């Protein structure tokens, strides 16, 4: 997505080049069946595998709910992934669709900017703190936001185009979806790699219920232009753009984050572009940034190939400390101060070129920046996610079999919640429906159940109004929790 700077840059479209006789398809039952390059399995490139504003506000309550660590089951569902590479393998983007099981197993498929397409599989692991890894790829590290609908990761290629750095953004698919789900103000940040780099773009747009938008974008190096157009959003959650007919993207199930990939034509033809947008909320304060964040950064231009990633802790004052690891020099401590405006604009003290925004759910941060030292002029895209922060450990397999699957659908509309879970063994089992304060709406003694998978349709003992809720499964001292939003009251 770009502003129409026809003064010196002819308009560029977004052609996604798909091989003959192939097309995007969807499996209604599993949400799987698109494409993903086989090279992500056989390691030729060793790349990573991978309602309304009221609902966005509900997502902001997650941090206030019952305490709970992240685990692999939080990934369960259908996901879109959009990635961009910088360095020897550029220009390159990848857009993928896949289904992740509760045990972290991924199956799906994808297409790349060079026309490559095929099926993939992999095994995700999630630490209690929300750090994500892939069992088959040692260089891949990512993080899951506290709402479990957005993932960000960085990786370094080996084999083909060795040393290429990659940034990947995943969003849990919103289904069913329609253009009113886009309604609101969004801030979009874009990064290019390839002939058109270094280049970033950022700005805000207002989208109406029909998908029409107006706003303005600023580009690296100066200049601001008005923009307008229309987004489309299919029932399957595919995001399209009238001013770039072949652009492809998706928004997350929380309706506060979008990701799109793009290829330029005309000026700097073949340049790859990644766009990450966040829906803007209201009434922001610096304390909204407080917590543990995983930050992932990708450079494009003279400083590439390069990524940075790490964990920081932000105080209610905006001051942060943590550790950052770079693809080139290893790890080092970091500190500084964030500031946030009442409208969600985020800046860093001492970094005048860095600017970004916090999403309405207060769990995803996106920024763009231009380096002033090292390799001056390098453009950088930063994506951060607030994590559970339960521990600072790396993900490892647990081997456990007590499992509470994520709620599906989520949010729940026009009906009662359906819960699926797996018991490691027979014995004392309790299943509870709680609100964010811990109030119980239903408590079931299921001690007569045998080991294995089970499903239950819940019915509250008292009326349950719209809001954010938790399901808690307890057996032999082990506890599993799952979050869900209720849109319509249940009586």
Question: CA angle at residue 247 from 46 to 44, to 5 degrees?
Answer: 10
pLDDT band at 388 (very low <50, low <70, confident <90, very high): confident
Residue 205 — very low, low, confident or very high, per pLDDT cuts 50/70/90? very high
User: Would residue 330 count as lying in a domain?
Assistant: no
Q: Are residues 53 and 161 in the same domain?
A: yes
Within a domain: residue 314? no
pLDDT of residue 255: 95
Category of 21 on φ-ψ map: left (φ > 0), alpha (ψ -120 to 50) or beta = left
480 and 370 within one domain: no
Please say if the pLDDT value at position 7 is more than 70.
no
Quickly state the pLDDT bin for 268 (edges 50, 70, 90).
Answer: very high
Instruction: Kindly state whether residues 391 and 443 are assigned to the same domain.
Output: no
Boundary residue ending a domain (379, 399, 419)? 399
295 & 413 share domain: no
Clarify whether residues 344 and 454 are in a common domain: no
What is the average pLDDT across 176-201?
97
pLDDT at 15 over 90: no
Tell me which of 399, 419, 436 is where a domain ends.
399
Q: Has residue 327 been placed in a domain?
A: no
480 with 363, same domain: the answer is no
- Residue 390's pLDDT is 52
Does some domain include residue 333?
no
Summary mean pLDDT of the chain:
83
On whether residue 210 sits in a domain, the answer given is yes
In a domain, residue 319? The reply is: no
Residue 83 shares a structural domain with residue 161: yes
Residues 382 and 466 occupy one common structural domain: no
Least confident of 8-17, 185-194, 421-430: 8-17
SS3 readout for the chain? CCCCCCCCCCCCCCCCCCCCCCCCCCCCCCCCCCECCCHHHHCCCCCCCCCCHHHHHHHCCHHHCCCCCCCHHHHCEEEEEEEEEECCCCCEEEEEEEEECCCCEEEEEEEECCCCEEEEEEEEEECCCCEEEECCEEEEEEEECCCCCEEEEEEECCCCCCCCEEEEEEEEECCCCCHHHHCEEEEEEEEEECCCCCCEEEEEEEECCCCEEEEEEEECCCCEEEEEEEEEECCCCCEEECCEEEEEEEEECCCCEEEEEEECCCCCCCCEEEEEEEECCCCCCHHHHCEEEEEEEEEECCCCCCEEEEEEEECCCCEEEEEEEECCCEEEEEEEEEEECCCCEEEECCEEEEEEEECCCCCEEEEEEECCCCCCCCEEEEEEEECCCCCCCCCCCCCCCCEECCCCCCCECCCCCEEEEEECCCCCEEEEEEECCCCEEEEEECCCCCCEEEEEECCCCCCECCEEEEEEEEECCEEEEEEEEECCCEC
Residues 6+ apart with CB under 8 A from 28: none
Which pLDDT does position 487 carry in this prediction?
Answer: 84
Same domain, 352 and 467: no
Return the pLDDT at 49. Answer: 33
Confidence at residue 116, expressed as pLDDT on a 0 to 100 scale: 83
Q: Cα separation of 83 and 248, whole Å?
A: 12
What band does 10 get if pLDDT is binned at 50, 70 and 90? very low
Give the β-pairing of 319-326 and 418-423: unpaired
pLDDT digits (tens, 9 = 90+) for 21-74: 222 333 333 333 232 222 222 223 333 333 334 344 444 443 333 345 788 999
Lowest mean pLDDT among 71-80, 229-238, 315-324, 397-406: 397-406
Does 244 map to a domain?
yes
Reference 370, options 390, 383, 355, 392; nearest CA is: 355
Using 50, 70 and 90 to split pLDDT, how confident is the model at 4? Answer: very low
- The better pLDDT of the pair 420, 35 is held by 420
Query: Does 454 have pLDDT greater than 70?
Result: yes
- Note whether 270 and 418 are same-domain residues: no
Domain coverage including residue 427: 403-486
pLDDT at 213: 98
Q: Which of 365, 399, 433 is the last residue of a domain?
A: 399
Q: What is the pLDDT of residue 1?
A: 57
Number of domains within the chain: 2
Together in a domain, 292 and 418: no
Do both 412 and 264 map to the same domain? Answer: no
For 113-153, write each residue's pLDDT tens digit: 988 886 777 899 998 889 999 887 888 999 999 999 999 99
State yes or no: pLDDT of 242 exceeds 60. yes
CATH number of the domain to which 477 belongs: 2.60.40.1930
Evaluate whether residue 491 is within a structural domain.
Answer: no
Per-residue pLDDT at 385 exceeds 50? yes
pLDDT digits (tens, 9 = 90+) for 310-359: 999 999 999 999 999 999 888 999 999 999 999 999 999 999 999 999 99
């Amino acid at each position: 997505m770009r502003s129409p700077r026809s003064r010196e840059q002819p308009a560029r479209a977004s052609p996604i080049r798909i091989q003959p006789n192939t097309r995007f398809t969807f499996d209604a039952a599993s949400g799987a069946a698109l494409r993903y390059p086989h090279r992500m399995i056989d390691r030729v490139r060793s790349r990573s595998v991978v309602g309304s504003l009221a609902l966005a506000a509900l997502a902001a309550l997650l941090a206030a709910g019952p305490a709970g660590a992240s685990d692999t089951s939080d990934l369960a569902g259908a996901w879109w992934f959009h990635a961009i590479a910088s360095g020897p393998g550029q220009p390159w983007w990848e857009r993928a669709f896949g289904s992740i099981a509760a045990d972290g197993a991924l199956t799906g498929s994808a297409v790349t900017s060079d026309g490559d397409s095929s099926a993939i599989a992999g095994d995700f692991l999630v630490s209690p703190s929300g750090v994500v890894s892939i069992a088959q790829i040692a260089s891949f590290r990512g993080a899951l936001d506290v709402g479990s609908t957005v993932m960000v990761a960085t990786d370094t290629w080996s084999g083909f185009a060795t040393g290429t750095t990659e940034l990947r953004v995943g969003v849990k698919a919103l289904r069913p979806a329609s253009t009113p789900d886009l309604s609101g103000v969004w801030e979009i940040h874009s990064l290019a790699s390839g002939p058109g780099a270094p280049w970033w773009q950022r700005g805000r747009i207002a989208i109406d219920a029909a998908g029409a938008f107006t706003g303005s974008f600023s580009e690296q190096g100066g200049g601001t232009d008005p923009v307008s157009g229309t987004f489309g959003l299919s029932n399957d959650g595919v995001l399209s753009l009238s001013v770039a007919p072949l652009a492809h993207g998706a928004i997350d199930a929380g309706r506060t984050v979008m990701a799109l990939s793009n290829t330029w034509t005309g000026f700097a033809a073949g340049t790859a572009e990644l766009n990450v947008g966040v829906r803007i909320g209201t009434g922001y304060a610096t304390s909204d940034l407080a917590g543990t964040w995983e930050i992932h950064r990708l450079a494009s231009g003279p400083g590439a190939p390069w990524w940075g990633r790490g964990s920081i802790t932000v105080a209610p004052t905006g001051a942060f400390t943590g550790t950052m690891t770079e693809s080139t020099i290893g790890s080092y401590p970091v500190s500084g101060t964030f500031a946030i405006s009442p409208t969600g604009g985020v800046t860093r003290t001492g970094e005048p070129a860095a600017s970004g925004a916090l999403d309405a759910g207060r769990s995803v941060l996106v920024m763009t920046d231009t380096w002033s030292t090292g390799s001056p002029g390098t453009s950088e895209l930063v994506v951060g996610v607030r994590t559970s922060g339960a521990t600072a450990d790396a993900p490892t397999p647990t081997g456990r079999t007590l499992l509470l699957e994520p709620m599906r659908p989520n949010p729940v509309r026009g009906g009662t919640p359906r819960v699926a879970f797996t018991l490691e063994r027979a014995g004392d089992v309790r299943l509870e429906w709680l609100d964010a304060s811990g109030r119980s709406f239903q408590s079931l003694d299921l001690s007569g159940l045998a080991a294995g998978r089970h499903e239950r349709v819940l019915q509250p003992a008292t009326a349950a109004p719209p809001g954010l809720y938790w399901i808690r499964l307890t057996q032999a001292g082990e506890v599993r929790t799952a979050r869900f939003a209720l849109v319509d009251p249940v009586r």
